[in-house]
Amino acid sequence: MCGIAGLIHRGKSSNVGSELQGMLQALKHRGEDSTGYALYGDTDGKNFIMRFKVGENVGEGSSSIMEDVSVYDARKKIVDQYLSELGAKIVKEERVLPYSLRYELAYDAKDLLEFSQKIESIPGVEILSMGKSLEVIKDLGNAQMVCDRYSLDKVVGTHAIGHARMATESGVDIKSAHPFWGYPFSDVSVVHNGQLTNYWNNRRLLENKGMRFMSECDSELIAVYIAQKMREGASLEEGMKASLTGLDGVFTYFVATKDSLGMAKDTMAAKPLVLYESDDLVAMGSEEIAIRSVLPQEIDTYDPYDGEVKVWQI
């Protein structure tokens, strides 16, 4: 069991960091091994924002091996060197935690594949997100803990998706936590609730096409699968529709891009989703109580049906 939540404001910005924190905290009983946020903040759109990690959180409950902070420093140095070689200029640098960093980069590139491959060739380094609006923040603990640790409650933006995870098939660590970045696409993120049963078959096929997997979490497949479809020329919605037959198992997942938010539900409708939709706001989550945290008044909600795909624009 895991919990997912997402919301999109249409035609305006709002305090999406705080709103998503409330939604995910309401779902913490569905899992609090880790919690992740994909926030689409208000930016000037000039620079890339790269969230990346140079190590794992080795706190209580983690399945990761402890490393010395000097190892993180060494990795960071190589990242800085590679960025310079790639022609990316660091405009702003924040080391939020010893293992977690946020860079604003002046970088002119359309395809981020080469960029990402080079940065992630450094052992222990993973790009959590890359985009001009998207920032993926994920760590161990429940929504409140992660929000406090990364000061997310002040983030203003148009939309966001998030995940409260109960680890079942892979480790309790940041690399297995959601959301997953839709590597190598700028500003694409995915969260998933469910289980994919043809993970390894699909993974082998996609790896043969040059796609990368950072974890053994089956949910990562969705991000990679859709990213590959988009590389082949499909739109986001077309990629999501293809996933209904291409992915086997039970799932409800959300995908977000710079200006849109989508949901898909498997053909068995085995995983829950409650949806609220109005002219200026769409909010959805694994349970209605998530939506209630942002809309406490009486509202009309519904469950999307089996095999349903929906996409909303900001």
| Residues with active-site annotation | 2
Cα(241)–Cα(84) distance, integer angstroms: 39
Given the rule CB under 8 A, which of 2-10, 57-65, 116-124, 292-300 is the region that contacts other proteins? 292-300
The distance of closest approach from Cβ of residue 16 to other proteins in the complex, given in angstroms and rounded to an integer, is 21
Question: Does the footprint of other proteins cover residue 305 (CB under 8 A)?
Answer: yes
The distance of closest approach from Cβ of residue 152 to other proteins in the complex, given in angstroms and rounded to an integer, is 24
The distance of closest approach from Cβ of residue 270 to other proteins in the complex, given in angstroms and rounded to an integer, is 8
Residues between 245 and 274 that touch other proteins (CB under 8 A): 267-270, 272, 274
The distance of closest approach from Cβ of residue 28 to other proteins in the complex, given in angstroms and rounded to an integer, is 13
Given the rule CB under 8 A, which of 38-46, 108-116, 207-215, 290-298 is the region that contacts other proteins? 290-298
Of the candidate residues 137, 291, 309, 314, the single one contacting other proteins (CB under 8 A): 291
Q: Identify which of residues 166 and 270 has a Cβ nearer to other proteins in the complex.
A: 270
Q: Identify which of residues 26 and 224 has a Cβ nearer to other proteins in the complex.
A: 26
- Which residue pairs, CB below 8 angstroms and at least 24 apart, start in 104-109? 104/47, 104/48, 104/49, 104/50, 105/47, 105/48, 105/49, 105/50, 106/46, 106/47, 106/48, 107/47, 107/48
Per rule CB under 8 A, count of chain residues that contact other proteins = 20
Q: How far is CA 142 from the centre of its chain?
A: 16
7 and 16 Cβ atoms separated by less than 8 Å: yes
Which residues is 101 bridged to in the sheet? Answer: 52, 95
248 and 195 Cβ atoms separated by less than 8 Å: no
36 and 254 Cβ atoms separated by less than 8 Å: no
Which stretch of DSSP H or E encloses residue 206? helix 199-208
3 and 290 Cβ atoms separated by less than 8 Å: yes
The distance of closest approach from Cβ of residue 271 to other proteins in the complex, given in angstroms and rounded to an integer, is 9
Cα(258)–Cα(236) distance, integer angstroms: 12
Question: Does the footprint of other proteins cover residue 68 (CB under 8 A)?
Answer: no
Q: Identify which of residues 144 and 301 has a Cβ nearer to other proteins in the complex.
A: 301
Q: How far is CA 313 from the centre of its chain?
A: 18
Residues composing the chain? 314
Question: Does the footprint of other proteins cover residue 301 (CB under 8 A)?
Answer: yes
Q: Identify which of residues 4 and 112 has a Cβ nearer to other proteins in the complex.
A: 4
Chain residues binding other proteins by CB under 8 A are 267-270, 272, 274, 287-289, 291-292, 296, 298-303, 305-306
